[in-house]
Structure 1
């Protein structure tokens, strides 16, 4: 069982930001990554649609023998992970916007959160936000249009820059000192955001924390792979394999799978 793969799924290529952190921290673990780009973005879908897509992805990974599943999508986590944990025996690791560290570290008492509609409107997000927002101003913005541009490989485009300028301006007006990225696609925007935002604003995403949690879960369940041979990495997408390979700098080969 220890040699079985870690399963990761996302509404496209964004979860590769999580994949890279896990692969770096756990270099001997086999991984299967599902990029459901055909159905991206999840953020503007209904809660029921998000749940059904998450079930589909989960069952595919279970059928491929995954020992643990990382829901590398904020929207899927906030809308589906409770159901998945109740209905499948496989351990699940989810993704939540890093509101807690931003709220604890802010000195201006104002933080920004850029996320999808599906994440910001979920009950799990509101529970987390309410828990850590006492005395803190939280400026939420839906990143409408960002995920499709990333999925199309237009990360460093004028269109993307204009969207980010529009979404971050109200945050700057509110004197934020932390920007929380609430979608696993968004870490790919950090180089562009760093150019746009004042230097004092710190950008937080959940990637490393998720990788550490994955390691912890595997340790607790005695599922860490002790074999030091090169592990098998499988990447599957139901759209263009080129974009998935590009985002990972062609370090891994992707396979088309109609799921």
Structure 2
């Protein structure tokens, strides 16, 4: 089991930042990545749909024998983290908790900004977790066009800077000293975001913090790959064009992603009346 891959799931290409960060910390670990490009973006979709889509993809990863699941999507984490931890026997790591812990230890003034998709910000999960401590004041802002820019491979244009300035203006006015990138697509726009926010604002990126959490859990559960393990990286997408995924991955990450195979997710029966996840305030 130790040499089995780590399963990483995202709604599209944003989770590649998490995969890259995990590989940097754990070069012997194999990775099986699935991007649900057929149904991306998740941010504007109803939470019940995000929950269903996410569990379908995670079922696919578990069926392929992964030793750990990494939900590299903030919207999905907010929608179904508790369900995933109850549903699967393998450990589940998400991207929200690690970023929150780092933001809490980083802020000096207690004024923390969070940006994310409409689904993530609307769920209130970051506001709840950061707001447990009364010394923190949380300012949240949805930035829906950021995912569109990344999925189109546009990360440094004048339009990106203009949209970033518009989205981030309330957070600058709130005088936050720490900003959480609450979407794994956003690290691709970190240059523009950091430029707009200014040098005095610390940026917390969920990709690197999640990778550290993966490292800790693998060590504590004695699941590290063996010393002779040869890492393999397999990328899958649910969309209709492998070429489109590769073109975008190469533009964003260089040649790290060499090929991708197209897959279909199964359909699982989740009654409309089924319980939706409550806000995670741990």
TM-score scaled by length of structure 2: 0.85
Aligned twin of 2:161:
161
* CA displacement 1:215-248 (0-9 Å, x = unmatched): 2222232221113343111011234222123322
Question: After alignment, is 52-61 or 212-221 more displaced?
Answer: 212-221
**Contact 2:18–2:207 under 8 Å retained in 1:** yes
In the alignment, the residues of structure 2 paired with residue 173 and residue 204 of structure 1 have an alpha-carbon distance, to the nearest angstrom, of: 19
Could you say what the CA RMSD is over the residues aligned between the two structures, in angstroms? 1.8
* CA displacement 1:20-79 (0-9 Å, x = unmatched): 110011100110111112211111111111111111110111121111110001111111
Aligned twin of 2:260:
255
In the alignment, the residues of structure 1 paired with residue 121 and residue 232 of structure 2 have an alpha-carbon distance, to the nearest angstrom, of: 36
Question: What count of residue pairs does the alignment treat as equivalent?
Answer: 258
In the alignment, the residues of structure 2 paired with residue 201 and residue 127 of structure 1 have an alpha-carbon distance, to the nearest angstrom, of: 22
Secondary structure of the equivalent of 2:231? coil
In the alignment, the residues of structure 2 paired with residue 243 and residue 173 of structure 1 have an alpha-carbon distance, to the nearest angstrom, of: 34
Question: After alignment, is 220-229 or 14-23 more displaced?
Answer: 220-229
Q: Where do 5+ consecutive residues of structure 1 fail to align?
A: none
Aligned twin of 2:100:
99
Aligned twin of 1:45:
45
TM-score scaled by length of structure 1: 0.93
In the alignment, the residues of structure 2 paired with residue 210 and residue 174 of structure 1 have an alpha-carbon distance, to the nearest angstrom, of: 27
Secondary structure of the equivalent of 1:70? strand
**Contact 1:102–1:111 under 8 Å retained in 2:** yes
Aligned twin of 2:114:
113
* CA displacement 1:200-227 (0-9 Å, x = unmatched): 1111112222112212222232221113
In the alignment, the residues of structure 2 paired with residue 83 and residue 204 of structure 1 have an alpha-carbon distance, to the nearest angstrom, of: 26
Map residues 163-242 of structure 1 onto 2, 5 A cutoff: 163-239=163-239, 240-241=244-245, 242=247
Q: How many angstroms does 1:123 deviate by?
A: 5.3
Secondary structure of the equivalent of 2:34? strand
